[in-house]
Chains A and B, each alone.
Chain A
Amino acid sequence: MTMLGDRQQLAYIASQAADARVNVELETEGMTLNIGPQHPATHGTLRIIARLDGEQVVWAEPSCGYMHRGYEKLTEVRTFPQVTALVNRIDWLGSFANEVPFILAAEQLMGIEAPPRAQWIRTILFELSRIANVSLVLGDLGVQLGAITPVFFAFRDREYVLNLIEGATGGRFHPNFDRIGGLKDDLPAGFIDETRAVMRKMRKFCDEIEGLLFGNEIFEARTRGIGVIPRDVALQYGLSGANLRGSGVDWDLRRDQKLPMAWDKVDWKVWTHPDGDSYARCWIRLQEVRESTLIVEKLLDSLPSGPVMAKVPRIIKVPEGEAWVSTENPLGEMGYYVVSKGELGPFRVKIRSASFNNISIVPWLLKGVYVPDIITILASLYFILGDIDR
């Protein structure tokens, strides 16, 4: 409570100081603008309280929790298989990626490992959900900056990826395909050829977006040098994912961590950008979609044969213990700290979702920018409300 009080007090002092400054110069009053909870740019219910001096932000603070659904508490009254169905609603655009760290944590507690084919398919689906997720933000970026066409391209081409995920798992948005010990089922026939075709389409989509948006001088004028996060600040605020790599930190959990997944079995590149501005973050995302399509193709080449399910009991009881597993999700680092007491369900689950940490930098980042830049910065930070509020 004291922390919150201090913070509010500081914010109050800052606003007073801002008012004083404004009044000395021009005899005008500042204005408090509530961006959200219902606002086209917050794609969900994030509220940004911004104190404005004209169109310049004096201080801003995100106020989240409008969509809090209490996942950590919900998991305590559900069994392990039920939790997977729940957690893929956290980041609803890349839902398969949400299941994986939880399942890996449970597997770690049980001391089992999925068979190689299951690991490969998991990785493929993980990357597919990353492509579906990040390609949508590439289009959404255009809408936030005023261009309406890219988002239609994004929805058009993401559809192919979602069709792939639906064909394999049965669910477009919420696959619920991952099981402790492996996968629910093997891939359907024809999946590999279809995926290759779609990956080519996605690379063409990336080229289109690059032509329409990234090469555009107006886009560059809007994003270059806007919302610069220096390397050390990014590390201090605990950013992750493309936001961190956009600040020049070469850090990717897919590569830096030993997990029973197939990322280390193929060659791929971690993209970084030294600038740390909005353009860098968006550019990293674009490159990552391209890289993901390549990863998927390479994994399809080396897909091993065999079973997709390890030997697990029908009624799953996870032995007593604690485990922390995090993976590099589309939005950044996502991790589950699972505490089990040897029962059907977890005793406690702590969810570390990427967006919550990523928007913690917003008050620092928004100081002194203009109102349109708020939107640019929020779009380039890329959060999903479900991922912030859980």
Chain B
Amino acid sequence: MLGLIAGIPYWAQSLLRVLGGIVAVLLPAGTIVYVFLFKMMSFMQSRLGPMEAGPFGSLQLFAEVGKWLQKEDLYPERADKFIFKMAPLIVLSSTFLLVAVVPFGPDAWFTNFEAGVFYALAVSSVSVLGILIAGWASANKYSLLGGLRGAGQLIAYELPMVLAVIGVVIQADTMNLQQIVVAQNAGSIFGWDGLGNPYILTQFIGFIIFMIAVQAELTQTPFDMPIAESELVSGYMTEYSGFRFLIFFISEFATAGVFALIASILFLGGWGVPFSWFGWTSIDSIDNWMNVVGPLIMFTKMMLLVFVIMWVRFSYPRFREDQLQRFAWKVLIPLSLVNIMATSVLKVAF
């Protein structure tokens, strides 16, 4: 984005970035909720989902938001009120911070950050803090259990996620997300460059581990025990209602979108098309129209990945807390370590 708006004053640049960030967070969140939560889930359960608000219920989300905004701002009597009110904002802020490093096109980015992968993984764990204090501040036993489970789970799955990404970083030789996209699309498979070299092919194990970890980070079924509506009522969100619940709700689906974006950058080639198609050689030689097409490609890839996330969510029962930890520490982490080993050996070999 810097490339596009370099000529205008700094305050205007900042404003545009904030607006762009809001669009990049809310638009995927709204689309995901409508397409997957309202419609796909309903179709999988042989029903139609919301049909009354707008054509095919497309305005249902606005109706829901309107409903939530009208509700009384309730908090428990014994709650630690300041922290209680902070928690949803912390969770949401992690989503906004995350989207800041996501490149949408050759020049369409908010920040082109050298250690982008590192930053993204670090920032994504800020939401743990929000969940933990939401659980603690609610003064509710179910919330407390949910918050503790959430903290344990998110920290446990942070590790395989990081380790899965290391494989990509080794292969791309960079931690800059933009460079990772370029490396994939400029790459070639044994000399054939018709598809570039999307890392889902070479890093397939890493991709699977990353997606499982994303599923857990998003607390989607089968890893939704921090919420676990049949056990803990609603986990750390039990006492939240109205506007504050809305923030949790938005951040849940917005984060799903942002993680899918990051996964598509790391493994599916991000905004790019294979450079050989148009005879590009480096990032500077890319035509300007990619700044418009790039976000659309990203959006398509994001929807594809979120489809998988949601499909799994609507089909599976959930693990138990100890089984989840065992799965993370005994299966995913060793597997990702082996993956890193193999990647570095092959990297040196080729």
A221 to B46, Cβ gap below 8 A? no
User: Digit string of A357-390 for contact with B (CB within 8 Å is 1, else 0)?
Assistant: 0000000000000111111000000000000000
- Asked if B117 is at the interface of the complex by the 8 Å CB criterion, the answer is no
Identify A145's interface contact among B44, B142, B315, B318, CB under 8 A: B318
* Measured CA separation A218–B320 after assembly (Å): 9
| Residues of the A chain whose Cβ atoms lie less than 8 Å from the Cβ of B46 | 152-153, 156
How far is it, in angstroms, between the C-alpha of A372 and the C-alpha of B323 when the chains are bound? 11
Bound-complex Cα distance A163 to B46 (A): 18
User: Chain A contacts of B315 at CB under 8 A?
Assistant: 147, 149, 212
- CB-defined contacts of B317 to chain A, threshold 8 Å: 142, 145-147, 213, 216, 218-219, 222
Contact between B145 and A218 (Cβ–Cβ < 8 Å)?
no
Q: Which of A41, A152, A153, A373 contacts B230 (CB 8 A)?
A: A41
Within the complex, what minimum Cβ distance (angstroms) separates B135 from chain A? 14
Q: B141–A33 contact, CB under 8 A?
A: yes
From DSSP, what is the main secondary structure of chain A's interface residues?
A: helix
Known A40-B230, A152-B46; judge A216-B321 contact (CB<8 A): no
User: What per-residue 1/0 map shows which CB atoms of A217-252 lie under 8 Å from chain B?
Assistant: 011011000000000000000000000000000000
A55 within 8 A of B: yes
Question: Considering the chains assembled together, what is the distance between the CA atoms of A388 and B315 in angstroms?
Answer: 32
Are A55 and B145 in contact, with the CB atoms below 8 A?
yes
Give the residues in chain A near B341, CB-CB below 8 Å: none
Tell whether, in the assembled complex, residue A146 and residue B224 are in contact, meaning their CB atoms are under 8 Å apart: yes
Total contacts A to B, CB within 8 angstroms? 84
> Which B residues lie within 8 Å of A147 (CB)?
221, 315-318
Q: Is the pair A222, B145 in contact by a Cβ cutoff of 8 Å? A: no
> For residue A223, which residue of chain B has the nearest CB?
B317
Q: Which has the most chain A C-beta neighbours within 10 Å: B45, B230, B314, B317?
A: B317
If A212-B315, A218-B319 touch, whether A149 touches B145 (CB-CB below 8 Å) is: no
6-38 of chain B: CB within 8 A of chain A: none
Bound-state Cα–Cα, A156 to B48, Å: 13
A108 within 8 A of B: no
A153 B45 Cβ-Cβ under 8 A: yes
Give Cα distance in the complex from A152 to B41, angstroms.
Answer: 10
A129 within 8 A of B: no
For residue B73, CB closer than 8 A to chain A, the reply is no
A152 touches B45 (CB 8 A): yes
Q: Are B316 and A218 in contact (CB under 8 A)?
A: yes
A28 → chain B closest CB, angstroms: 13
Taking the complex as formed, is B47 at the interface, i.e. its CB lies under 8 A from any CB of chain A?
Answer: yes
Cross-chain contact A144 with B230 (CB below 8 angstroms): yes
In the complex with contacts A148-B314, A212-B315, A373-B320 CB distance below 8 A = yes
8 Å CB contact of B321 from A143, A153, A156, A370: A370
- The complex places the Cα of A213 from the Cα of B318 at a distance, in Å, of 11
A31 at the interface (CB under 8 A from B): yes
Q: Smallest CB–CB gap between B100 and chain A, Å?
A: 33
A137 to B233: give the CA distance in the assembly, Å: 20
Q: Which residue of A is nearest B142, CB measured?
A: A33
Say yes or no for B228: interface residue by CB 8 A criterion.
yes
Task: For the complex, give the distance between the alpha carbons of A271 and B322 in Å.
Answer: 32
Q: Are B230 and A370 in contact (CB under 8 A)?
A: no
CB distance from B36 to the nearest CB of A (A): 13
Contacts of B225 in A (CB 8 A): 146, 372
A146 to B233, CA, bound (A): 12
**Contact indicator A31/B231 (Cβ below 8 Å):** no
The reply on A265 being an interface residue by CB < 8 A is no
- Whether A39 is near chain B, meaning CB under 8 Å from some CB there, is yes
* B-to-A contact residues, CB < 8 Å: 41, 44-47, 141-142, 145, 221-222, 224-225, 228-233, 314-323
Q: List 8 A-B contacts (CB under 8 A).
A: A33-B145, A143-B230, A146-B316, A147-B317, A149-B45, A218-B316, A219-B317, A370-B322
Known interface pairs A40-B233, A216-B316; 11 further A-B residue pairs with C-beta atoms within 8 A, sorted by A's residue number:
A33-B141, A145-B317, A145-B318, A146-B224, A146-B225, A146-B318, A147-B221, A153-B45, A218-B318, A370-B322, A371-B231
A residues at B contact (CB < 8 Å): 31, 33, 39-41, 55, 142-149, 152-153, 156, 212-213, 216, 218-219, 221-222, 370-375
